[in-house]
């Protein structure tokens, strides 16, 4: 969860806004609570371009003093209405941290707030717009009150966002750690950051997958490498974040480890009544990063994910090196009533 403060800049933050006093008070309350509870506060500024009076270097361009960023809080600048436009880098940043919930506040309701809410929704974020935390001025077609109510009470709720009260939003902020997925670990551990891979990581996932195969088989042929390089990007693009969850470790600007969980929905039986089963495809850590507990942390993240998503079980085939690690994490030897068998359709 993040609090996204949009375009609350000196040139447009004043008494001309609808319910200005309430708007300012709510923003200060939400920002203060977010900082106190560990919800990241992110700011966005709109740039109308040189000579407009509302651009870099202009006093009106700067963020309103009453809700100024704290040291270290990120600011993204934009030249279009939506804060999620590819040119801002915001979407890429949030995805790198596996953020799913965005509380959007700021200016103006019918311009950049509307564009950001709809764009965020289309990109898969759960958009939250607290009451009287956005505002606008009258325009040639609607007065400010009508404009505010049209979007906050008619356009967004049930379509693009939830629109709770400020009190309800504060409760979400206070409880965000309870509701956040415990497998999403964004903090550093000896220079390593743990999270879940996204589509921006596909080339790195392909590289690690090939390294894993070389490590597992001893070597691969050029033909085998070319085949994997051809198939894997499309597979990851289709399945990543859906049937395939890649738990990764990052360091030095790249992925250094990955563990893949393949989720399989089957007809329910007494062992998994909801039909959700899963298996570990592989766990691989680059050689220079082995022996640092990275594998164990990735598997802990995987178990937390499976628990939250009510996946009945996780199956894996353990190597001799991995076996004691998995046993320590709670994996048990399988006792099977039936024998595993296989029919090879393609001789590969």
Q: Before 32, cis peptide (omega within 30)? A: no
Q: Could you tell me the maximum CA-CA distance found in the chain, to the nearest angstrom?
A: 77
Report the mean per-residue pLDDT for the chain. 91
Over range 310-330, report the average pLDDT. 90
What is the mean pLDDT of the segment spanning 121-139? 95
pLDDT band for position 337 (cuts 50, 70, 90): confident
* Predicted local distance difference test score (pLDDT) of residue 178: 59
- HEC-encoded secondary structure of the chain: CEEEEECCECCCCCCCCCCHHHHHHHHHHHHHHHHHHCCEEEEEEECCCCCCCCCCCCHHHCECHHHCCCCCCCEEEECCCCCCCCCCCHHHHHHHCCCCEEEEEEECHHHHHHHHHHHHHHCCCEEECCCCCEECCCCCCCCHHHHHHHHHHHHCECCCEECCCHHHHHHHHHCHHHHCCCCCCCCEECCEEEEECCHHHHHHHHHHHHHHHHHHHCCCCHHHHHHHHHHHHHHHHHHECCCEEEEEEEECCEEEEEEEEEEEECCCECCECCCEEEEEEEEEECHHHCCCCHHHHHHHHHHHHHHHCCCCCEECCCCCCCHHHHHHHCCCCCCCCCCCCCCCCCCC
| pLDDT band of 185, cuts 50, 70, 90 | very low
Most confident by average pLDDT, 48-62, 252-266, 301-315: 48-62
Residue 190 has pLDDT above 70, yes or no: no
Query: What is the predicted pLDDT for the residue at 193?
Result: 84
Q: How far is CA 334 from the centre of its chain?
A: 35
pLDDT classification of 196: cutoffs 50, 70, 90: confident
Task: State the pLDDT at residue 348.
Answer: 63
Report pLDDT for 186.
46
Give the contacts of 49 (CB within 8 A, at least 6 positions apart).
55, 79
Q: Is the per-residue pLDDT at 216 higher than 60?
A: yes
Least confident of 178-192, 251-265, 281-295, 296-310: 178-192
Q: Does 260 have pLDDT greater than 60? A: yes
Alpha-carbon span 87 to 90, nearest angstrom: 8
Residues 6+ apart with CB under 8 A from 213: 220, 224, 228
pLDDT number for residue 184? 42
Sketch the domain layout of the chain as residue ranges.
Answer: 2-179, 188-329
Tell me the torsion sign for CA atoms 14, 18, 21, 26.
negative
What is the pLDDT confidence band of residue 188, given thresholds at 50, 70 and 90? very low
Quote the pLDDT of residue 21.
97
Candidates 3.30.9.10, 3.40.50.1820, 3.40.50.850, 3.50.50.60; CATH matching 2-179? 3.40.50.850
| Whole-number pLDDT of residue 319 | 87
Structure tokens belonging to residue 15? 């008494």
Return the sign of the alpha-carbon dihedral for residues 87, 88, 93, 98.
negative
Q: Across residues 297-301, what is the average pLDDT?
A: 92
pLDDT, residue 189, reads 47
Mean local confidence (pLDDT), 195-211: 91
The pLDDT-based confidence of 259 (bands split at 50, 70, 90) is very high
Mean per-residue pLDDT, 111-132? 96
Q: Kindly report, residue by residue over 23-68, the tens digit of the pLDDT.
A: 999 999 999 999 999 899 999 999 999 999 999 999 999 999 999 9
- The CATH code belonging to domain 188-329 is 3.40.630.30
The residue-averaged pLDDT of 223-248 equals: 93
The pTM for the full model equals 0.55
User: What is the model's pLDDT at position 182?
Assistant: 40
Mean pLDDT calculated for residue range 129-155: 97
């Amino acid at each position: 969860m993040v609090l996204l403060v949009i375009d609350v800049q000196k040139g447009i933050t004043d008494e001309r806004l609808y319910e200005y006093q309430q708007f300012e008070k709510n923003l200060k309350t939400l920002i203060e609570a977010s900082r106190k509870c560990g919800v990241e506060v992110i700011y966005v500024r709109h740039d109308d371009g040189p000579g407009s009076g509302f651009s870099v270097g202009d006093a009106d361009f700067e963020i309103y003093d009453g809700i100024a960023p704290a040291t270290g809080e990120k600011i993204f600048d934009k030249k279009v209405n939506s804060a999620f436009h590819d040119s801002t880098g915001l979407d890429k940043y949030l995805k790198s941290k596996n953020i799913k919930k965005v509380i959007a506040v700021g200016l103006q309701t019918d311009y950049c707030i509307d564009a950001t809410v709809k764009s965020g929704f289309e990109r898969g974020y759960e958009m939250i717009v607290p009451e009287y935390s956005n505002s606008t001025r009258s325009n040639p077609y609607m007065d400010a009150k009508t404009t505010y109510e049209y979007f906050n009470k008619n356009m967004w709720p049930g379509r693009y966002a939830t629109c709770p009260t400020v009190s309800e939003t504060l409760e979400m902020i206070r409880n965000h750690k309870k509701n956040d997925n415990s497998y999403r670990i964004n903090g550093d551990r000896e220079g390593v950051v743990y999270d879940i891979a996204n589509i921006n990581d596909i080339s790195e996932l392909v590289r690690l997958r090939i390294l894993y195969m070389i490590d597992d088989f001893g070597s691969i042929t050029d033909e085998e490498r070319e085949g994997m390089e051809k198939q894997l990007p499309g597979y990851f693009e289709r399945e990543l974040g859906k049937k395939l969850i890649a738990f990764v470790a990052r360091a030095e600007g790249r992925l250094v480890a990955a563990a893949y969980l393949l989720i399989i929905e089957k007809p329910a039986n007494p062992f998994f009544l909801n039909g959700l089963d899963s298996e570990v495809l592989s766990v691989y850590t680059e050689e220079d990063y082995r022996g640092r507990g990275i594998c164990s942390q990735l598997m802990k993240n995987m178990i937390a994910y499976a628990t939250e998503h009510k996946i009945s079980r996780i199956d894996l085939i353990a190597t001799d090196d991995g076996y004691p690690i998995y046993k320590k994490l709670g994996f048990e030897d399988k006792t099977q009533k039936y024998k595993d068998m296989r029919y090879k359709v393609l001789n590969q």
